[in-house]
Structure 1
Amino acid sequence: MLKRLRALFARDPRDLSPADAVRRIDDGALIVDVREADEFAAGSLRGATHIPLGEIRSLGLTALHRRGLSPERQDLLLVCRSGARSRAAMALLSTCPDMRLFNLRGGMIAWLDHGLPLQQRKG
């Protein structure tokens, strides 16, 4: 059990700081927000596509394709509140070797702590 927890939270080069995430976004990375609908409605990264983690669990890569996303061609930044759900989504999607997946380390909490903007959504 402890080994699994260490593996889950070990530093991964695909875990990006908010500053590194901004650079990836500026370079054209797709953003997928895996939080629940009410969390997403409260505010998200500009340009983010909402695909809840449960949908990724059920459909895998098909969930992204249904939204018109082609992550095989671009970097994909996964986002949630704290970084845990987006990391789980990254693990689920990592079966496709051609995808360049990244996780926002610390999630929306870290994003806001760095004073970065949110796009307000209409409920």
Structure 2
Amino acid sequence: PEGPKARPVVAMDYNLYVRHSDGAEKPAMAGEFTERAYQAFRAAFDTQYNGKRLPLELGFHFTLMNNGAYWDALERFAGEVCVKADVECISFRDYVARQRASRAQASVGG
């Protein structure tokens, strides 16, 4: 959930950009957008961390929308959660490789 109405949103910077500013740059509101994005990331993480522990995927482009609001939120979020002893922050490529290796291992002798 994200924002004052706590509506669901796919955790990608562009989706937040469109929700927050209708796809138009509003650098004066970057601080508010950063905080909203951070709170959404953290709520999604906490739900999984304290629940089923499903992987959390965040998608980002190599551009700074709304004066870098979403990258700032990601840096704060990652700085807090990626250092936890039982959390791994890995690329999607590494996640897929692990899943494939796990399936291959499970099928050996099976």
- Structure with bigger RCO (C-alpha 8 Å, 6+ apart): 1
Normalised TM-score (structure 1): 0.30
Normalised TM-score (structure 2): 0.33
Work out which of the two has the higher radius of gyration on C-alpha atoms and give 1 or 2: 2
